[in-house]
Every structure is written in structure tokens, then in C-alpha cells.
Homo-oligomer: A and B are copies of this chain.
Amino acid sequence: MATTRVRPQVSIRGRSVGPIASSNAVGEEVPEFEPFMLLPRGPPPLTDYLDVWDVNMLKEPEEVNKQQHHTDRYANEGLIVRRGQEFQISITFNRPHDPSKDQFALEFVIGATPQYSKGTYIPVFPSEERNKLWGGRVLDTSDNVLTMGILPRADCIVGKYGMYVAVVTPYGIRRTKKDPSRELYILFNPWVKDDSVYLEDGAERTECVLNELGIIYHGAYDDVSERSWNYGQFEFGILDACLFIMDKGALPITNRGDPVKIARKASAMINSKDDEGVLVGNWSGDYMYGVAPTSWTGSVEILLSYANGGDPVCYAQCWVYAAVFNTFLRCLGIPARVVTNFFSAHDNDGNLKTDILLDENGKVDRSRTRDSIWNYHCWNECYMARLDLPEGFGGWQVVDATPQETSDGMYRCGPASVYAIKHGMVCYPFDAPFVFAEVNSDFLYRDGTLTPVKVNTSHVGRLVLTKAPGSNGRSDITSMYKFPEGSAEERTVLEKAEEYGVRRQDVTPPVADVALDIPSLEVKVGAGFDLALDFRNSSGQRRTVEAYTNGYVVYYTGVPSAEILFQMWRASTVIKVRPEDYMGKLVEQANLHFITTGKVKETGQIVTAMRVITLHKPRLLVQVRGLYTSFTMLVTVQFTNDFKFSLENVHVRVEGPGVMSPHNKLYRLIAPGTTISWTESFIPRRQGPSKLMASLDCHALRQVRTHTHTHTLSATNHVHEYKNDLLRVNR
């Protein structure tokens, strides 16, 4: 069925007047001279009408526009401003402008076939009363130079505009020539009330728009690990890459003023499914034909590679999708953050159940248990008013680019209002029931006859974390998604969600009078450890438990890779796990999953407990030299193989936003006991604080990561040198 055939190509003739502009690329040239009708033929006579000598976009980082519009950090030579806020352009004419007789306009155009009524052709006049779309006024005139203030509407299209100066003569309109140096980018503006992405909280706004240094949480809810990430939204080429993504997704130009439509389209485009988007997902452990998801240290390399040809980049898992999506949103000016949901359920039916089947002895029946709970799952939140919904559902919105099983039949998800999820109002678009299930599913144990014997309602969505604004600490935002477990509001919300078609488990099996817990442990890769089983008998009577413990190496998706342990006994306390039990079987992020199930002999009740252990990785060292002394600096990455086996095909990466573009190096072999040391030089582009992030990754040992803070005092501050450095590295 999946054969590729040539599809008949059909023209748009007869169907629409012209093609729909869905690319930011410029289409037809605007004519340099547009004659008025009914004139004698021949070129117009040259007289003393106003002539444009020069246009100054005032686009240097230290000039007024980029300073006032918070766009000075972009490594981009063009003018970048934000909508809903005035910017300035200076025009030098052949003589002073005379308002009483000289008529001119600045014309802004975006996309092919610009049209006034679609907001893709905007003339701005120096007299305020003539402006219908954007504001315009004369700020200053001195001699031949006129400085104009232009105020783009707060809901205008976001992207790259062309700019022309048009002078009206009695014979027609004379325009300046097309000039790429006069192009400008208009972005979203979270600093301005009228923009639907306005974010009042200044600390959050700075964090979620301007911070390039990310921390992404993973591991287990009671043993949280951190990944540093370089979002790099201001790096050279990233803004153009973000526009390219929208072009590749053929998002109509006229939709590009709406953050809801942009976020939704991007949630589809950041993954390669359906639409040849940015990142190819791979959870298999075999990353031969690309970069292992655990190896990336930032978004820059990924986005530049995609923009250079449009081929999907290999490979990603959820945090890579979320991180690249975050770069996209912050780069365009939509406030965004990456969040991590610990124990994330994956539903494919608006169904709040995840099943574990036990056999008649109370042991997990692996052949019949097909559901899995992800140890953690990362997605994004972006901040915007939801003008398409009733009041109250604006604010943070969940968007998720990881291609999951189903989300309205397509690989995309959101924006879904976090407020709506918390209140069970899952009837509002987009994909709210799906996200609701991710944080609210029940964990259900069934016996051999499929009768539910135990329900765990608090396991899923245990903790939702994001980086705290302005610090390197964690912000627990679980309460933005859910009311407290067991509260009256929680019950109301579940009932509400049920009204909108979310199905819940409707049985409540009796609670056993024997409780079981496996306490948390911090374990290093390669170490042995003792797993404790804490039984608590609240019956006041004698209880005998026949229990089974299974241990698995699991992917972070909860999917088991190999069984490492199976023990069966009556009422015990400690299980010894030796390094040789798991070392040969580890996959990916080195997660171990233990599940104990048992039956109380006297009552027939079922007791269960689960524990995920994320093994801690060996250290990676990063050192920077030359911070205060020289223009060129050096970074050294060091690692010692303390294992008893060799590491093969080891990829080491290092990068830092504003200071060092992504570099990587491959070591074919690191023998046991040996140390590698890799030194690279770099020229910081920007002064001030930043971070260098490094990773080491190979098949046997994934995601060894570290970072170091930097503070550069001297920097090039010039894009072109940095650009050359970047191009050299990326070939």
C-alpha cells in the first residue's frame, strides 16, 4: 500500500484568482514607477519633485530601535522591531521636505501578492489622519533629513517586511528600488498591552523571551536531574530559520499575526511527521544515522541544519522537541518555557486509564500489559490571550511538538489553555482532553479476569516543573494543572471533564489494609544497591503477603527493554541489586524500574509498589581560560573512563549562547582508566554572563552532561566575525 506514485499535479486555475501567499519570500516586484491612468505616452518629465537619496533604518544594536524594542541581542544585521511599539526611520531627500506640497509614504510589504485588505501591503504617511492601518508621524526634520516614527498595529503580521519610499508626482508614483538592507523583521511584543502575547510579570517576561540559557528537568519526581540547554534564539541565522519553518509549513501569511495559529502550526512542524518538519523522533537506541537525542546541547545546530535545505534532522526525543520549540517561540517574541511532567500518561482515546494486568498469582503479566507511563515528558507552555475563546482561558497554553500516538489524528498538540485543563473545561480547542489525560490518568491493576483490583489515582502527573524566572532554581507549577489530590475541587473537575467526553475508571476496588512502599535511592551507574520493601500493616491483625518483585531496564518512556531481576518470596525486606545484574543491559538514560505486586493471604487483597531509579552518571569537566585576558578564549573538556569496559564512538559537544558556536568531536575509543582532554578556541560575540554546556554521549553511556558559567569582558560585538566562525564550524 505504501508505494510512492507520482500524484497528478493540478493547477489552481478556475479555483482561485491567485495563489495564497504562504511564504515570507517576496513575490512580484513592486514597480519602481506606477503611472496614473489616461496619460500621454512616454517617460514622465524629470522635474524638481522630491527624490530619495538615502534611507537609514537605524538598525545597529546600540541605536534607538533595537534598544527600545529589546532586540539588540539578535545576531542579525537587519532592523528587528516589535509590533505595537513605535520605531524610527530616517530619510534623506534631495531637499527639505515641504508638507504643504510634497506627498510621500513609506510602504511596507510582506509575502507575495501584497494586498491592503489582507494587511500585507501597508502604506504609512507622515500625516497621522491619513493612516488607516499603522501609525506614522514626523519626529524630526533637519535640513534634508526627515525622521519618521512608525507604529505597527499590535496585531499585525509577524515576519520579514520589505520597505519602500513612494513619492507621489502628478505623473505617477516613484518608488525606491528594492534593497535588502531596508528589509525589517517585525516580532511579537510581550511588553505591550495591546499585543495578545502581552505578559505583565516582568521577571517572567525577561526569562521567557530573552533568556537563552535553559534548564530542562528529567529523571524521577523524587530524584530530579537537570539538563542545561542553549536555546540560542538570538544566534546568527535562527530568526531566519524560524521564518523558514513557517514557510515550509505553508502557514498563510495572513495567519502570521495570530500567536494561536503560529504556535499550532509550529507544534506540527517541529516534528518531521506528516509534513517533513524539523526533527525526526527516535526512541530505539540506534542512532547510527544521526545524532543521539541525548547528545545535543542546544537548538542552534538543529535549526541551522534544518534551514539549510529543509531536510528533517535526526534525532529527537521529547526534551529535544520541547527545547527547539522553545527557541522558535522565544525567537519570534512569544513568551515560552519548557515544562516537565513526571509520570506522564499517554492516552489515545480521551480515556483516563492505564492498565497493568496481573496473573492469577498477582505477578505482572508482561505479555498482556501494553500501556506504559512515561517516566517524564517535556512539553512547552506559551503565554497568550486566547481571543478565540471566552474570557478567562488566556495565559499559559500547553503546546507539544513530540509526535505522540494521536492528537486529533495528527502529530501536533495545542495550544490548550492550562486554566481550562485545571478546571476540566476540556471542550475548548486545541487538544485539551489529551493534555488532561497526561496529568490526570488513573493507574489501574487488573487481575486475570480483568477485574480492577487496585487503583492509583495520584501516580500520574505527580509533579510539573519548570525553571524559575531569573534564577537557576525550580518552580513547581503542579498546582496550575491540578487541584490538590483528594480535594473537593479535584472531584468536581473530574466530573466536569467527564461531561466533555473524558472517560474515567468508574470502579473503586477496596483499599488493602497492608501498604507497601519502596523508598527512593540515589545510585551511580555501575554501583550495587539495596532496594528496601517497606510493608505497613494497619489491620492490627496478622497478615501474610506473597509478593513478587520484577526489575527492568526501561526507556524513559516506561517501555521495558530487559528484565534484570525476578524474585518471589513471603514478607521480605531488602533486595540486593548487583552491578552485573544491569550493566550489560542499560539503555539510554539508565533508568531501572522495579515493581512489586503481592496478595495478602488472609484477605486476598492486592498490594503494589513501584520505583523508578535513574542512575547517576560519571562527571564531565569543562574549564575555560582567557576570560579576562584575551580576545580569543580556550575551553577544555575532560573525561575519565572509570568503567571496566571501553567506550566506543564517543561524541563530545560544547557550545555557549553568545560566546561559542556548537563544536563537536568524535573519539573512536576511550579505554578503561584513560582520560580524554579536548581544547578548542573561540571568540565571544557578546559581553556579560553566559554558560558553556558540554555533553558526552555514546551507545554504552548516554547523556553525561555538564556546564560552566562564564562572564566575558571583551567580545567582538560584530556579527560577521562570529558568522565566519560559525560557518567554518558547520562547514
Bound CA span A559–B11, Å: 14
Q: Say yes or no for A557: interface residue by CB 8 A criterion.
A: yes
Which residues of B sit under 8 angstroms from A285, Cβ to Cβ?
A: 13-14
Instruction: Indicate if the CB atoms of B428 and A290 lie closer than 8 Å.
Output: no
Assembled-state Cα–Cα distance A265/B1 (Å) = 19
- B390, B409, B588: the one contacting A427 at CB < 8 Å is B390
Q: Is A584 an interface residue (CB 8 A)?
A: no
Question: Is the CB–CB distance between A8 and B559 below 8 Å?
Answer: no
Does A665 interact with chain B (Cβ within 8 Å)? Answer: no
Q: Answer yes or no: A100 CB below 8 A from chain B CBs.
A: no
What B residues does A17 contact at CB under 8 A?
A: 369-372, 559
Determine which residue in A272, A274, A282, A314 has the highest number of CB atoms from chain B within 10 A of its CB, and name it: A282
Per the bound structure, the CA–CA distance linking A315 and B10 in Å amounts to 10
Tell me, in angstroms, the Cα distance from A491 to B668 when the chains sit together. Answer: 72
Q: How far is the CB of A224 from chain B (nearest CB, A)?
A: 22
A355-B113 Cα distance, complex, nearest whole Å? 15
Q: A406 to B20, Cβ gap below 8 A?
A: yes
Measured between C-beta atoms, what is the minimum distance from A615 to chain B in Å? 17
Interface centre among A389, A409, A500 (most CB of B within 10 A): A409
Given contacts A409-B261, A429-B430, contact A446 B14 (CB under 8 A): no
CB-CB nearest in chain B for A14: B283
Give the contacting residue for A557; candidates B1, B14, B428; CB below 8 A.
B14
Q: Does A12 belong to the interface (CB within 8 Å)?
A: yes
> How big is the A interface, by class?
35 or more
Contacts of A265 in B (CB 8 A): 409
**Stretch in A40-48, A250-258, A328-336, A470-478 with 4+ CB within 8 Å of B:** A250-258
Q: Indicate whether A433 reaches chain B with its CB closer than 8 angstroms.
A: yes
State A240–B351 Cα separation when bound (angstroms): 28
Q: Mark A492-510, 1 if CB is under 8 A from B, else 0.
A: 0000000111000000000
Chain A 113-137 near chain B by CB (<8 Å), digits 1 or 0: 1011110000000000000100000
Closest chain B residue, CB of each to CB of A285: B14
Residues of B within 8 A of A501 (CB): 258, 387-388
Q: B252 to A450, Cβ gap below 8 A?
A: no
Q: Chain A, 562-604, contact with B by CB distance < 8 Å: what is the 0/1 string?
A: 0000000000000000000000000110000000000000000
Q: Which residues of B contact A264 (CB under 8 A)?
A: 408-409
Q: State whether the Cβ of A680 lies closer than 8 Å to any Cβ in chain B.
A: no
Q: Given A17-B371, A348-B255, A429-B429 in contact, is the A450-B283 Cβ separation under 8 Å?
A: no
A353 interface residue, CB < 8 Å from B? Answer: yes
* Residues of B contacting A369 in the complex (Cβ-Cβ under 8 angstroms): 17
Q: Is the CB of B13 within 8 A of A284?
A: yes
Q: Is A561 an interface residue (CB 8 A)?
A: yes
Given contacts A14-B284, A14-B557, A371-B17, contact A388 B427 (CB under 8 A): yes
CA A409 to CA B264, docked complex, whole Å = 9
Which residue in chain B gives the minimum CB-CB distance to A132? B450
Residue A310, interface by CB 8 Å: yes
Give the complex CA separation of A384 and B196 in angstroms.
35
- Once bound together, how far apart are the Cα atoms of A407 and B353, in whole Å? 32
Rounded to whole Å, the gap between the CB of A59 and the closest CB of chain B is 29
Measured between alpha carbons, how far is A499 from B290 in the docked complex, in Å? Answer: 47
- Judge whether B116 and A450 touch: CB under 8 Å: yes
In this assembly, does A479 line the interface, its C-beta being within 8 Å of a C-beta of chain B? Answer: no
CA distance A306 to B205 in the complex (A): 52
A16 at the interface (CB under 8 A from B): yes
Q: Is A656 an interface residue (CB 8 A)?
A: no
Q: Specify which chain B residues have a CB less than 8 angstroms from the CB of A486 in the assembled complex.
A: none
- The answer to whether the Cβ of A312 comes within 8 Å of any Cβ in the partner chain is yes
Q: Contacts A446-B117, A500-B387 hold; do A555 and B8 have CB atoms under 8 A apart?
A: no
A348 is contacted by which of B252, B272, B280, B351 (Cβ under 8 Å)? Answer: B252
Residues of chain A in range 221-260 having any CB-CB distance to chain B below 8 Å: 248-252, 254-255, 258
A388-B285 Cα distance, complex, nearest whole Å: 38
**Cβ–Cβ contact A405 & B8, under 8 A:** no
CB < 8 Å: which of B255, B405, B446 contacts A252? B405
CA distance A249 to B408 in the complex (A): 12
Nearest chain B residue, comparing its CB with the CB of A587? B14
Q: Is A219 an interface residue (CB 8 A)?
A: no
CA distance A254 to B503 in the complex (A): 13
- Digit string of A334-374 for contact with B (CB within 8 Å is 1, else 0)? 00000000000010111101010001100000001111100
Taking a contact as CB atoms under 8 Å apart, the answer to whether B251 and A409 are in contact is yes
Write the chain B residue with the least CB distance to A452: B117
Q: Which residues of B contact A315 (CB under 8 A)?
A: 10
Name A155's closest neighbour in chain B (CB-CB).
B503
A311: CB under 8 A from chain B? yes
What separation, in Å, do the CA atoms of A258 and B350 have in the docked complex? 11
**Closest chain B residue, CB of each to CB of A290:** B8
A289 within 8 A of B: yes
Cβ of A351: which chain B residues have Cβ within 8 Å of it?
A: 254
Q: Does A4 make an interface contact (CB < 8 A)?
A: yes
A413 → chain B closest CB, angstroms: 13
Distance A426 CA – B429 CA, assembled complex (angstroms): 11
A7 CB within 8 Å of chain B: yes
Residues of B within 8 A of A251 (CB): 409
**Within A279-333, which residues are at the interface with B (CB < 8 Å)?**
280-286, 289-290, 310-312, 314-315
Residues of chain B contacted by A113 (CB below 8 angstroms): 370
- A542 to chain B: which residues have CB within 8 Å? none
Are B1 and A310 in contact, CB atoms less than 8 angstroms apart?
yes
Cβ of A268 under 8 Å from chain B: yes
CB of A15 within 8 A of chain B? yes
Residues of B within 8 A of A39 (CB): none
Sample of 7 A–B contacts (CB below 8 Å): A14-B283, A14-B588, A16-B557, A117-B353, A118-B349, A132-B450, A268-B409
Interface of A with B (CB < 8 Å)? 1, 4-5, 7-8, 10-18, 20, 37, 113, 115-118, 132, 248-252, 254-255, 258, 261, 264-265, 268, 272, 274, 276, 280-286, 289-290, 310-312, 314-315, 346, 348-351, 353, 355, 359-360, 368-372, 387-390, 405-406, 408-410, 426-430, 433, 444, 446, 450, 499-501, 555, 557, 559, 561, 587-588
Given contacts A17-B372, A255-B406, 15 further A-B contacts (CB under 8 A): A10-B315, A15-B283, A15-B557, A16-B557, A17-B371, A20-B406, A37-B359, A113-B370, A115-B368, A117-B371, A255-B349, A255-B409, A264-B409, A389-B427, A390-B499
Q: Name the 5 nearest CB pairs between A and B, nearest first.
A: A15-B283, A14-B283, A13-B284, A14-B555, A387-B501
